[in-house]
Amino acid sequence: MESSSESMEPGLNSDCVLVIMAKAPRPGRVKTRLIPSLPLQAVTSFYRCLLGDTLALAQSLAGVEAAIMCPESDVDELALVAGPGVSVVAQKGEGLAAGLTSVFAHFAEDHQRRTIAFNSDSPHLPPSILQGAFEALVAHDLVVGPTYDGGYYLIGANRSHPSLFTRDGMGTGSALENLLSQARVLQLSVGFTDPFYDIDVADDLIQLAAELEDSPGLAPRTAVWLKEWGDAMTRLRTGTAD
């Protein structure tokens, strides 16, 4: 089942689409690596804020369509979160590899647009990096945004490459290495954006909190969450979290 918002194809005239890889913000299903450090309610509301700020970032890019790719069970809930003007599409298959494959099969293969799959937990990323990623696809088959932990926060292509993503190493410290190895096998040229960090573990959250304390406008919903859960963040910083 696909959301009714998907049928509107609001940015179809654009040759660029930014697709957020998302899940519905349900307790115990999102940001699970933070659950040992924070209350479950806090983690769930944190992800909701991250997703809201990521959507705002996507919609701030001129000439770029914003969309969401998600598990089929999450389509209706995420359509409500996203609101009008954002395509919400159910992936085919289970897991991250299937989701990424679905992004390019749906958005790039039929319409031949520059398509970037972006994670839902880097709303603090400078918009110029995303614009640069779309520009890189003019000269390269792929564009990749590396994370410092050996993964990647975005992957872009001009067309679908079904064998590019494998289950082996997805979501691990070898994810980027595996992706680039497969790109070499497929003889695809690769451009890179600046390395960045996403929010997986407590140290990432502490780094984000420091950044948003100085520049809350980068991710205003998340900045508000940090104030609301200030006591929990203090315990996290001092290593006294339950």
**Predicted TM-score (pTM) of this structure:** 0.90
| Residue 238: predicted pLDDT | 83
Can you give the pLDDT at residue 48?
A: 97
Packed helices 220-228 and 230-238: angle between N→C axes, nearest 10 degrees? 80
In the chain, domain spans: 4-233
Question: pLDDT at position 171, please?
Answer: 61
| Positions of E strands within the chain | 16-21, 65-70, 87-90, 114-119, 142-146, 152-157, 190-192
One pLDDT digit (tens) per residue for the chain, 242 residues: 344 344 334 444 579 999 999 999 999 999 999 999 999 999 999 999 999 999 999 999 999 999 999 999 999 999 999 988 899 999 999 999 999 999 999 999 766 789 999 999 999 999 999 999 999 999 999 999 999 999 999 999 999 998 999 765 566 678 999 999 999 999 999 999 999 999 999 999 999 999 999 999 999 999 999 999 989 899 888 877 65
Q: Can you tell me the distance from the alpha carbon of 69 to that of 116, in angstroms, rounded to the nearest whole number? A: 11
Round to whole Å and give the CA distance between 140 and 210: 35
Pairing mode, strands 152-157 and 114-119: antiparallel
pLDDT of residue 8: 34
DSSP state of 196: B
Please report the pLDDT score of residue 5 as a whole number: 41
Was domain 4-233 assigned CATH 3.90.550.10?
yes
Contact status, residue 174 vs residue 132, Cβ threshold 8 Å:
no
Q: For residue 101, what pLDDT is reported? A: 95
pLDDT of residue 7: 34
Q: In one letter, which amino acid is 223?
A: A
How far does CA 80 lie from the centroid of its chain? Answer: 18
